[in-house]
């Protein structure tokens, strides 16, 4: 059976990856695939946390058996049998940064496809040791309204226009000094 996973992160509302994985793949191989796909260093400690239906941690899976099995001995079929359809993939144990991996359901297998595969990606590129800082954007209509209000509130705006008109007149007077009687330009006599 081929499972489809949606991967997100609490750091970014825009980051999304969708993978298709054979249910017989173990967590260690999937971890290596994610590390390679995201360009993360493979020499860092990573941990999978499995969550039950009630949202509490139901299992922890690391390189070594932490009581629920090691990553190389637990498959996705095992997780489904244990009722763990959501995982946290902790890729930065020092800062507690993680990806949320949710099993979305089954998809038909393709004979020509080698699994796992990335089928969709969107959002910013994650870095392994720097958090994403997203700036919340205002809706366009709110930005336009704020711009209109700032222009309307600026009483000095008209004074600046008058100063610009005075400068334009001075520049024209200077330009006329270099024109001959018939409008031809005179640059200087030698």
* pLDDT one-digit tens code per residue, 103-158: 999 999 888 889 999 999 999 888 777 776 555 555 555 555 555 555 555 555 45
Residue 34: CB atoms within 10 A of its CB come to 21
Report if residue 117 sits inside a domain. yes
Q: What is the pLDDT at residue 20?
A: 97
Domain that holds residue 71: 2-122
> Of 86 and 174, which is predicted with more confidence?
86
Residue 50 is assigned to a structural domain of this protein = yes
Question: Distance between CA atoms of 160 and 182, rounded to whole angstroms?
Answer: 35
Q: Which residues contact 38 (CB under 8 A, 6 or more apart)?
A: 125, 126, 128
Q: Which residue has the higher pLDDT, 164 or 130?
A: 130
What pLDDT score was predicted for residue 73?
96
Q: Do 72 and 151 fall within a single domain? A: no
- What does the alpha-carbon distance between residue 63 and residue 107 come to, in Å, rounded to a whole number? 29
Q: 30 or 146: whose pLDDT is higher?
A: 30
Contacts of 164 (CB under 8 A, 6+ apart): none
pLDDT of residue 172: 52
- 153 with 108, same domain? no
The Cβ of residue 143 has, within 10 Å, a number of other Cβ atoms equal to 11
């Amino acid at each position: 059976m081929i499972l489809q996973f949606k991967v997100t992160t609490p750091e970014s509302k825009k980051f999304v990856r969708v993978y298709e994985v054979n249910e017989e793949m173990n967590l260690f191989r999937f971890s290596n695939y994610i590390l390679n796909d995201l360009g993360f260093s493979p020499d860092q400690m990573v941990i999978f946390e499995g969550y039950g239906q009630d949202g509490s941690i139901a299992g922890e899976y690391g390189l070594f058996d932490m009581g629920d099995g090691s990553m190389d001995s637990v498959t996705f079929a095992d997780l489904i049998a244990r009722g763990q359809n959501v995982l946290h993939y902790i890729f930065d144990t020092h800062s507690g940064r993680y990806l949320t991996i949710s099993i979305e359901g089954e998809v038909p297998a393709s004979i020509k496809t080698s699994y796992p595969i990335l089928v969709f990606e969107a959002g910013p590129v994650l870095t392994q040791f720097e958090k994403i800082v997203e700036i919340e954007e205002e809706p366009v209509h709110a930005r336009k309204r704020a711009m209109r209000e700032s222009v309307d509130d600026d009483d000095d705006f008209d004074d600046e226009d008058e100063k610009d008109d005075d400068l334009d007149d001075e520049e024209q007077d200077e330009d006329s000094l270099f024109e001959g009687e018939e409008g031809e330009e005179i640059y200087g006599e030698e």
